[in-house]
A and B are shown apart, each in its own frame.
Chain A
Amino acid sequence: MTEPVLSVRNLQVEFASRRGTLRAIDGVSFDIAKGEVLGVVGESGAGKSVTGLSVIGLIDPPGRISGGEIRLSGLRIDNLQPEEMRRVRGKRIGMIFQDPLTSLNPLYKIGDQIVETIRTHLNLSAQAARRRAIDLLAEVGIPAPEKRIDGYPHEFSGGMRQRVVIALAICAEPELIIADEPTTALDVSVQAQIISLIKRLGRDHGTAVMLVTHDMGVIAEASDRVAVMYAGRVAEIGPVQDVVRNPLHPYAKGLMGAIPTLAGEEKRLVQIPGSMPRLSAIPRGCSFNPRCASAFDRCRVDRPEPLPRGTQSVACHLYDSVPAESAA
């Protein structure tokens, strides 16, 4: 098996606050292979975005990576010097943010922003960089790129701006793209276009993609594998069909149950009772136990570790064969 493009092992991220240290990410591990799209899904505050930001090294103080390691094609990147990490950002890891309306500097032509990024990372002349920028704009589906390259961000629609943002993210042929809620701010019709664009680019260039979203529809549509996050941990990870059709973790079951189906009869969607705990009040044992219908004594004491189960991996005591208490 070839080395994964991104390998995250036991990642921990902490935020120092006045009330002590809050652990936003606690022991997250996953891999993304070349050309693979990993969907990361979970509620707001589950740690999806923080995971993405820690991979690209953009966690703002007081947050910091306090444990674990992140490897990009084998190279450890979580402990690089700021200047070395800057060279990795944009060059080897591209990032797409949620809101295309605010991601671009309003005072610069989009072409100038692309050329600037290209020339920061690649040794190209201004003309060559401009030609490359036009090609990139064409590739992400901007019509008449040789004309639009001299447009300002406000002259583009939201969907078009997100295409420009994607062009910026891929302009130095990165090995990995982190897309943090890339479609949340867009119209539904545009969402599908952007998702298929990201998917196509990943396939054509062999780029690994980490797709962070809370939208299960987007995950089912675009990703090869999916990681379900809850309260700073990975609850379940596995191939997308398996996790969607046969979720193992009670939280993942709840999430899948909350997806409306077109074909099914009209029945109330299943709701997970309660809400995710705040970082300052994560319960002992499994962090999901207060909301879990199948929780038993051990869940309130022991923290479950991820266990392989078929193609999936799940962090839940229900699937732990060692203790005698069988699944409820």
Chain B
Amino acid sequence: MLAFTLRRAIQAIGVMIAVGIISFSMFRFAGDPVNQMVGMDTSGAERAAIRKSLGLDDPVIVQFGRYVGNAAQFKFGVSYQFRLPVANLLMERMPATLELAVVATIFAMVSGILMGVYSALRRDSWLTHVFQAVSLIGISLPTFLIGVLMIYLFSVTLGWLPSFGRGDVVHIGWWTTGLLTLSGLKALIMPSITLGLFQMTLIMRLVRTEMLEVMRTDYIRFARARGLTTRAIHFGHALRNTLVPVITVAGLQFGSVIAFAIITETVFQWPGMGLLFVQAVQNVDIPIMAAYLMMVSLIFVTINLVVDILYTIVDPRLRSTVSRAH
């Protein structure tokens, strides 16, 4: 188990180094950074001095080493537009994005699993057909369109929910949360549904297919032959076996929820990392773009690692093959 975790951790570090190379090379492809920092009338000698002071004339490998070393300490340089350390900007925006992503994922998991289980067990009920239709909409309509439609309905027409922003937030240490105020909660509803809808339909369809599959297995037939109650069979045996692949998908999806939050955050002007990134792209603010890339990759890789470990906890077969293999 330990060896397995360690091996996966080393792989994760490898991935992060590769991402580091990409985000480092962004600086070099976007032109000479010195030009972006100084005015038109700076002399060649001054430019050379700046270049030397910033270490830009060192060999590339040395520069890369320095970049990775700094990134490992969460030093991503200074934003061109805000003139503030990128790390501070990201940290300030992160709670909003994480809160949105977590709420959206919980929404997607809970409703996706419930709908999936229901539509697997009651295949011909009218509610199942409604769920199927909703999931078709969720999978085919683009996120921004759903967001805009919801704003039109609930904010513009009905006036029930705020159309943008995070509402009032409460500071807990460096973390800011909108979960403790009414306006914060209201502001969270539409963005999290918009963000979670695609995952919800994905999870619902996955749960439904897996559950139908599991219900046909021999151990479910044997469980019925043992006279277990329908409830124990459905929720004790079938659901747990269904959830093994669902955990993987939902876990991996959490990374893309954070990444896709870019669109939702733009639609709802949600003050998170995604909005920061979009603004950075518009202003060619390379340090923010590079740092965002690194942060999202780090989250992705960490989630992958956690999912792999979770997987072995849920499925005992993996536990022993893993420990036997090492």
Contacts and interface: CB of A to CB of B under 8 A. Distances in A.
Nearest to A180: B225
Most-contacted residue by chain B among A107, A121, A165 (CB, 10 A)? A107
Contacts of B81: none
Interface string A85-108: 011111100110101001111111
Given A106-B316, A107-B316, A154-B316, A89 B225 contact: yes
B227 interface: yes
Contacts of B283: none
A58 B226 contact: no
A32 interface: no
A155 B316 CA distance: 10
Contact of A102 (B219, B226, B229): B219
A172 B217 CA distance: 24
B75 interface: no
A56 interface: yes
Interface string A158-196: 000000010011001000000000000000000000000
A224 to B, nearest CB: 24
Given A99-B218, A120-B229, A152 B224 contact: no
B227 A97 contact: no
B317 A154 contact: yes
A56 B225 CA distance: 7
Contacts of B315: 106-107
Contacts of A116: 228, 232, 236
Interface string A105-116: 111110000001
A212 B105 CA distance: 50
Given A109-B316, A120-B228, 7 more contacts: A58-B224, A86-B228, A104-B219, A106-B219, A108-B237, A154-B317, A172-B227
B241 A103 contact: no
A274 B131 CA distance: 50
11 contacts: A86-B228, A86-B230, A89-B226, A90-B226, A94-B225, A97-B218, A105-B241, A106-B317, A107-B244, A154-B317, A168-B222
Contacts of B218: 97, 99, 102-103
A30 B273 CA distance: 74
Interface string B21-40: 00000000000000000000
A73 interface: no
B8 interface: no
Nearest to B316: A152
B227 A121 contact: yes
Interface residue tally of chain A, by bracket? 20 to 34
B186 interface: no
A279 B226 CA distance: 30
A87 B227 contact: yes
Interface residues of B, number: 24
Interface of A: 56, 58, 86-91, 94-95, 97, 99, 102-109, 116-117, 120-121, 152, 154-155, 165, 168-169, 172
B240 interface: yes
Interface of B: 217-219, 221-230, 232, 236-237, 240-241, 244, 314-317, 320
A120 B232 contact: yes
A121 B226 CA distance: 9
A155 B320 CA distance: 9
B121 to A, nearest CB: 14
A103 B222 contact: yes
Nearest to A168: B226
A86 B227 CA distance: 5
A95 B232 contact: no
Contacts of B221: 58, 97
B323 to A, nearest CB: 12
Nearest to A118: B226
Contacts of B230: 86
Nearest to B227: A90
A158 B297 CA distance: 44
Nearest to A174: B227
Nearest to B228: A120
A86 B225 CA distance: 8
Contacts of A117: 226-228
Nearest to A102: B218
A97 B225 contact: yes
A117 B224 CA distance: 10
A108 B222 CA distance: 14
A67 B141 CA distance: 52
Contacts of A89: 224-227
A250 B170 CA distance: 88
A145 B217 CA distance: 27
